[in-house]
A and B are shown apart, each in its own frame.
Chain A
Amino acid sequence: MRKSRFFCLALACFLAIVVIFVFDGYLGVYDSATIKAGEFTQEIPAGSWPTGSYPYSVSSQSDQKIFFTYRIDNRWFTAYRKTVIVSLWQQNQKVADLYSQTLEIQPFKKATAEWTADPADLNLGVFQQEQFTVRIEQDGSIREVIIISFYLPVTETGVPKAIPVPPPIR
């Protein structure tokens, strides 16, 4: 009996570790995002949202749309019902609303929300370089993504003009 006491304790520790992994590591509600700006796609995996003063940043040309796909994975035994509100901010002032919808996700199911940030629709015009914050709000939680938008001047394309040959030096 005494010999198996430590074995039972070790087994109890192992089971406790497994239970913690299941309940704290797997179960819960997880959100992730995919941002496509130009030809670049950036993933923000669940559990990797930065907290504090260094949010994710995405660079984009000011005349290109930015496509957002936001996924919520409900790994819990009850349905998850939350209103997702997405807005665009600049210098702590709201510039535009991008998305607002109430999502109801059944237990162990996923839901996806998609929206597009289009500089043309936002009436932002052409700018040299500006920064925006996309704020994704659910009840009680805020996710932020910084957009660094830059302007590339459009160059005229066409047949290159022939350079005149300089006259010979005498």
Chain B
Amino acid sequence: MRLRVYILYGFGIITSIGGVSLLAAQYIRFISEPVKLVLLLLVVALFFCLGRYFEEIGW
């Protein structure tokens, strides 16, 4: 039962990320090069902060 829940969570997370990526890909070609670099840094910062957050709550 618990495994099935995890599988469903995983499926939901993957489809959400896939959907957001698909939508983002439609507009990322309109974004200027310097702002693309800012976006990259923001994504790195986002993953760093999320990682630290999960680390601190004991995951």
Q: Which positions in A face B, CB cutoff 8 Å?
A: 2-4, 6-7, 9-10, 13-14, 16-17, 20-21, 24-26, 28, 30, 46-48
Within 8 Å CB of B38, what residues of A?
Answer: 20
Partner of B53, one of A7, A28, A30, A46: A7
Within 8 Å CB of A46, what residues of B?
Answer: 30
Interface contact A9-B42, CB-CB below 8 Å: no
Excluding A6-B50, A26-B27, 18 further A-B contacts by CB distance (< 8 Å) are: A3-B56, A4-B53, A6-B53, A13-B43, A13-B45, A14-B46, A17-B39, A17-B43, A20-B31, A20-B35, A21-B27, A24-B30, A24-B31, A24-B35, A25-B27, A26-B30, A47-B29, A47-B30
- Interface flag for B24 (CB, 8 Å): yes
Partner of A2, one of B42, B50, B56: B56
Interface contact A9-B31, CB-CB below 8 Å: no
- Interface flag for B28 (CB, 8 Å): yes
Within 8 Å CB of A30, what residues of B?
Answer: 30
Taken together as a complex, chains A and B put the C-alpha atoms of A7 and B52 apart, in Å, by 8
- Count of interface residues, chain B, beta-carbon cutoff 8 Å: 20
Q: Which positions in B face A, CB cutoff 8 Å?
A: 24, 27-32, 35, 38-39, 42-43, 45-46, 49-50, 52-53, 56-57
Within 8 Å CB of A28, what residues of B?
Answer: 30
Chain B residue nearest in CB terms to A17: B42
A44 CB to closest chain B CB (Å) equals 13
Interface contact A21-B53, CB-CB below 8 Å: no
Taken together as a complex, chains A and B put the C-alpha atoms of A10 and B53 apart, in Å, by 9
Taken together as a complex, chains A and B put the C-alpha atoms of A146 and B57 apart, in Å, by 60
Within 8 Å CB of B27, what residues of A?
Answer: 21, 25-26
Taken together as a complex, chains A and B put the C-alpha atoms of A29 and B39 apart, in Å, by 21
Within 8 Å CB of B45, what residues of A?
Answer: 9, 13
Chain B residue nearest in CB terms to A48: B29
Interface contact A6-B46, CB-CB below 8 Å: no
Taken together as a complex, chains A and B put the C-alpha atoms of A4 and B52 apart, in Å, by 10
Within 8 Å CB of A6, what residues of B?
Answer: 49-50, 52-53, 56
Given known contacts A10-B46, A10-B49, is B30 in contact with A25 (CB within 8 Å)? yes
